[in-house]
Structure 1
Amino acid sequence: MAAGAFGLRESPAHAGQAALSRPVRDWRPAAEDVRRELLHTWNAYKRFAWGHDHLLPVSGGHGEFFDNAHPVGLTIVEALDTLYLMRLDDELAEGIAWIEENLDFSTVNADIQVFETNIRMVGGLLSGHLATREPALLRHARRIADILMPCFERSPTGIPYRFVNPSTGEISGVTNPLAEVGTIITEFGTLSRLTGDAKYHRAAKKAMKAVIDRRSELDLLGTEINVETGRWVNGAATIHPPVDSFFEYVWDAWDLFGDTDFRAWYEILTRAILEHESTTIDGHLWFARVDKDDGDVVATDQSELGSFYAGLLAQSGHRRLGDAYLASWTSVLDRYPVLPEGYDPATRAATAKGNQLRPEYVDSCLNLWLVAGPGRPAAERYRELAYDYYVRQKRHSRVANGWTIIEDVTAAPVRHGDLTSGYWWSEQMKYWYLMFAKADRFDYRSNYLSTEGNVFRGLLRR
């Protein structure tokens, strides 16, 4: 796509304060383009992969996420509330019909991650239900959550085991990373609210408390923990994977449910992160990995997944720091066409050269934009940055049958992989659309989006 498409000037990656003096422009052509791209890829999914978990857009095939022998329509589930927000109602109806007629997660015969199943399947079905009020979607969400519950209930500490086999009920995975322990509460809490059964919310909160109670004297958390003993397996403290969304959900449980315990925990943990993990390299704010007990730096490399933290900082009252961290990631775009999976600011080198169609940078643009106030000139620079990234990602990831991951962003031209990731449907296409459109089915003043982009508050029935 050429620069300046849709009548919009392609902004530089580091637009900075320039947008402050410009009037709010008409972003509707950009929103319509995002909608067309999603519909174009949906039609390719229908041709090549209908009912399967993933589209392989380069080869024109399909793949599964959980179990190669038992597809569960992951793409359909992940797309539900995005289709609703974009008013793609015929496509939404097709997806719901497939779920009602075909989805049976209990047939999956593989060790599946509690975390991935929760954020993708339970979360996608819940937001789909909240959008459409279809009772079948809530029933399926509850059935899948019930498959996951023994991982919590059989744990001596309340910290969930990592895996369960839905077909056999066997649980496994004594060592669990923090993101997989804690990224449960908003889905399980929403399920409790909708069903009136408090056991889901109670189990998720117990798991998070068990971890937070084991923080170090510096109020830092390690990376991995033993489910049965509660002892740390890895003592590196980080905002990056495999911890990242744990901190997101500590804040989110306060935001979504008004639970003051989580607000207090978030403030304790954030103070420690800002004191011990924040670092400045070449004038940019980054977050290092440190030893949880003494605060010594372990590594400075960054994961693109960690770029979500800019938006979380802004949401929780640290907008200046959020701006600074977003600017750090934006500076990486001076070196690469799209963000690499890993980057070390100390060496200015990509430590992981792929691009998995990640949404975290755009997620932070969205959250900073919402905090700054949609429609205000001061907020426009976040839309400019998000639009610049849309132009970049479309240019380098679009193929004949949709959008695909990239194996090497340092190559010229970039080298493609062959996958449209499930979260592409639930996250960045939604984020871009919400920023560029005035979506009449979304409440821009009061909303909540999960780590997987599922909307649990703010869906309007129109």
Structure 2
Amino acid sequence: MENVPYTSIFVTNTPDSSQDSSGTSKSISCRRNWNRLSRLQKSFILMLLLIVVSFCLITTTFTWAPDPSSVAEDDLLRNKFHALPMSHQKPSVAGRDTHGSAFSRNQRVPSKAGLPTISRQLQPDIEPSRINQHQLLAPGGRSQELQHQAAEDIRSVISLDPVIPISKLRKRQTKKPTIITMQTDYHRLKLDGPQNHRQQEVVNAFLHAWNGYRSFAWGQDHLRPISKTGQDWFGLGLTLIDSLDTMYIMGLQKEYFEARDWVDNSLSFDVNRNVNLFETTIRVMGGLLSAYHLSGDEMFRQKAEDLGTILLAGFKSPSGVPYSDVNLRNRAAHGPSWSPDSTTSEVTTIQLEFRDLSRIVNNPIFEESAMNVSRHVHTLPKIHGLVPIHITPGTGAFRMTSVVTLGARGDSYYEYLLKQWIQTGKKIDFLKDDYLLAIEGIQNRLVQRTHVSNLTFINELENNGQVLRPKMDHLVCYLPGTLALGVLHGLPQWHLDLAKELLYTCYLTYKRQPTGLSPEITFFNTEDSAKQDFWVKHNDAHNLLRPETVESLWYLWQITEDKMYQDWGWEIFQSFLKYTRVEHGFTSISSVLNPENTRPRDMMESFFLGETLKYFYLLFSDKPIFDLKTWVFNTEAHPLPVYDH
């Protein structure tokens, strides 16, 4: 075949102006020219075409492939920030500290637009460069180079204004239980950080307390803010876990994720230590469960299940009424060293948490173990629905000579009758019936008024229910909130009237003290000769930063929409700032009677961050944050979902 120059190929492929323009002529001309080429020329052209096609394919692939940094960034969000959804307590027999220096709650003692940001307004002292890079890198993620790049991208977004609120972050995937349906609508939560000056002040107080805890007691149960040390009661990081949902609700992302990682990496239940079943359930399990429901983070669910499995040992008594203490390592349960009895409020105030745990892990053993206690107590004889404060695990019987009180060791029995009924979709009638009977018993047997100002208060019953004692613990001030919650769920209206009267008395126990803070115990005067409504013994004049009055103020404000309760709360908050705030946190004080010498106790209880400041924050909100028909708060202020049955 005649050799044709390479350049002539393209000349002959170009149609001549005199040539017929039909498709057939072009096809014949191209075929003729192709046939004139040598084998070598044909091979060269085919190889050239192959290179061109390959180049086009490669270019297209790179054009449409995801950017590695954006993939790493998405992994970071999925693994680390999936926790953020889109918009979506009490101490000791008087004069005896039964658990070391810590206080038992029921005891009495003397796209980049989708990335999370941290508000400069909320955290003015936090610069983007100070964000702990460990908190930003996804565990098990991609290469270090991509992780560092993604971390830098996140830092750059954190520094942008305006601040992107938590409600605008990526929606997390919540694993719903397969056997029970929750009534809670997570998307209605508006967790956008403080919306007004009062809420901002509460956030500032929280950060002040948290920074002291982080600096001097990280991972320990409590902070001693004056001596700048930590204190361990159970060795389970009580303050940290109690604070998880508080930080989440306040929008404190940096603090939340740092605490979250401590739980993931450092919280261990393999310790040879006796813990109180009740306190560990409401604080630790309750805190883990609430963090799980708010964030969707499976780690919290697994930790709660691990703990619940250990605490089941407490129910292994002859009667099924749990022992008060459980050893975490050997899972041996027993009563306290000073008594064979358990506390009535303790054994009847674990049901919300154990039920919720059963629902989210689809294992009925937790709910059944705790619910059997409620069924058993339902069958026991009572004094017009009122219960003594001690019960014996060996026999399952009340110690009828015990005091009947709405305060220490008796309080939350009544609270959990109502809240269990609500939690189970108001389907378990005996819980409601026992609650209604108890409130009638309180009204008929315990309610009394002072002579001077006609203030309502709740007595205690002694000597097998025969003697009234005009004494009321601060712990009793949870009751107005519980009464109002019952009315919201359809119970008698007169409960709300009683709630308002009792809450006014609780408020005055603050307002009428020189410090504006309430004592632990108040005595009331009913005699005609009385000159004042109430008085305080010096040994009862301590304030432990308790939440009960603030809790009830929140319930009454949210249910009645009366802003007077917010104003009362603001007064109390200002008193806490003035008399309990110290350089590195907040401290309980020994005397509310002497502003010049409050005698600080150097102890910040976990419930101050987990309950008191949380309730202040919720109280000062412009609009309700939680729907009280779809959420129920445990006795440590940890929100849990309401189920349909």
State if a TM-score over 0.5 links the two structures.
yes
Backbone CA RMSD of aligned residues: 1.9
Deviations 1:54-102 (A, max 9, x none): 1111111111121xxxx32211101111101101011111001011111
Residues in 1 aligned to 2:431 and 2:475: alpha-carbon distance in whole angstroms = 23
SS class of match (1:307): helix
409-418 or 439-448: bigger deviation: 439-448
Bigger strand fraction: 1
Query: How far apart are the structure 1 equivalents of 2:442 and 2:624?
Result: 38
- Residue 127 (structure 1) aligned with residue 327 (structure 2): no
My pick for the range that moved more, 202-211 or 73-82, is 202-211
Closer, same or farther: CA 89–179 of 1 in aligned 2, 3 Å:
same
User: Residue 576 of structure 2 aligns with which residue?
Assistant: 393
Identify the residue that residue 607 of structure 2 maps to in structure 1: 423
Q: How much has 1:279 moved relative to structure 2?
A: 1.3
Q: Judge conservation of contact 1:57–1:419 (CA < 8 Å) in 2.
A: yes
Question: Which amino acid in the other structure matches residue 342 of structure 1?
Answer: I
Distance 2:461 2:629 in 1: 37
> Residue 290 in 1 paired to residue 461 in 2?
yes
Q: 2:381 aligns with which of 202, 215, 218?
A: 215
- In 2, the alpha carbon distance for the partners of 1:322 and 1:119 equals 24
Residue 341 of structure 1: aligned partner: 520
Question: Which residue number corresponds to residue 452 of structure 1?
Answer: 636
The question of whether the paired residues in 1 share the 8 Å contact of 2:227 and 2:602 is answered with: yes
Q: Do 1:363 and 1:431's aligned partners in 2 also have CA atoms closer than 8 Å?
A: yes
Does the Cα contact within 8 Å between 1:326 and 1:364 map onto a contact in 2? yes
C-alpha separation in 2, matches of 1:358 and 1:423: 7
Aligned length: 421
2:546 to 346, 355, 358: 358
Which residue number corresponds to residue 16 of structure 1?
none
Matched residue, 1:17: none
* DSSP 3-state at the match of 2:461: strand
TM-score by length of 1: 0.87
Distance in 2 (CA, whole Å) between partners of 1:242 and 1:226 is: 14
Q: For structure 2, which runs of at least 5 residues remain unmatched after alignment?
A: 1-193, 488-494, 526-532
Instruction: Judge which range, 405-414 or 87-96, deviates more.
Output: 405-414
The structure, 1 or 2, with the larger RCO (C-alpha pairs under 8 Å, 6+ apart) is 1
Comparing 121-130 with 282-291, greater Cα deviation is found at 282-291
CA drift of 1:348 comes to 2.5
**1-structure distance, mates of 2:609, 2:541:** 23
**What SS does the corresponding residue of 1:355 show, helix, strand or coil?**
coil
- 2:618–2:624: 8 Å Cα contact kept in structure 1? no
After TM superposition, list the pairs within 5 Å mapping 1:19-418 onto structure 2.
Answer: 28-66=196-234, 71-107=235-271, 109-152=272-315, 154-173=316-335, 174-216=340-382, 218-233=384-399, 234-258=401-425, 259-282=428-451, 283-291=454-462, 295-317=465-487, 318-332=495-509, 333-337=511-515, 338-346=517-525, 348-351=534-537, 352-373=540-561, 379-413=562-596, 414-418=598-602
One-letter amino acid matched to 1:126: L
Distance 2:237 2:580 in 1: 23
Aligned sequence identity (%)? 28
Tell me the secondary structure at the aligned position of residue 329 of structure 2: coil
| Distance in 2, Cα, partners of 1:439 & 1:403 | 28
1:214/1:221 contact within 8 Å kept: no
State the AA in 1 paired with 2:534. Answer: R
Q: Could you tell me how far apart the structure 1 residues matched to 2:274 and 2:623 are?
A: 39
Runs of 4+ in 1 over 6 A off after TM superposition: none
SS of alignment partner, residue 522 of structure 2: strand
Q: How far apart are the structure 2 equivalents of 1:88 and 1:441?
A: 16
Give SS of 1:237's match. coil
Change over 3 Å in CA distance of 1:200–1:304 after alignment to 2: same
Query: Does the 8 Å CA contact 1:111/1:165 hold for their aligned counterparts?
Result: yes
In structure 1, what is the equivalent of residue 67 of structure 2?
Answer: none
**Structure-2 separation of matches of 1:438 and 1:256:** 26
1:284 to partner: Cα distance: 1.2
Could you tell me the TM-score, scaled by structure 2's length?
0.63
Secondary structure of the structure 2 residue equivalent to 1:242: coil
Contact 2:514 2:595 in 1 (8 A): no
Give the deviation of 1:380 after TM superposition.
0.5
Amino acid corresponding to residue 382 of structure 1 in structure 2: Y
Task: Determine helix, strand or coil for the equivalent of 2:635.
Answer: coil
Once the 2 structures are TM-superposed, how far is the Cα of residue 439 of structure 1 from its aligned partner? 7.4
Q: CA deviation at 1:440?
A: 8.9
Distance in 2 (alpha carbons) for counterparts of 1:192 and 1:438: 35
CA-CA distance at 1:300 after TM superposition: 1.6
Higher mean C-alpha displacement, 77-86 vs 205-214: 205-214
**SS of 1:456's equivalent?**
strand
Q: Which letter maps to 1:48? A: F
Alpha-carbon shift at residue 366 of structure 1 (Å): 0.7
Q: Deviations over 1:86-138 (max 9, x none)?
A: 0101111100101111111221x232110000000000111111111111111
Contact 1:86 1:439 in 2 (8 A): no
**Structure 1 unaligned regions, length at least 5:** 1-25, 374-378
Distance in structure 1 (CA, Å) of the matches to 2:641 and 2:196: 24
Counterpart CA distance in 1 for 2:398 and 2:352 is 25
Q: Please say if residues 222 and 604 of structure 2, whose CA atoms lie closer than 8 Å, have aligned partners that are also in contact.
A: yes
CA distance in 2, matches of 1:292, 1:183: 25
Larger Rg: 2
Alpha-carbon offset, residue 215 of structure 1: 2.6
Partner of 1:13: none
- Residues in 2 aligned to 1:217 and 1:132: alpha-carbon distance in whole angstroms: 43
Higher mean alpha-carbon deviation, 159-168 vs 76-85, is at 159-168
User: How far off is 1:441 after superposition?
Assistant: 6.4
**Cα separation, 1, equivalents of 2:362 and 2:542:** 43
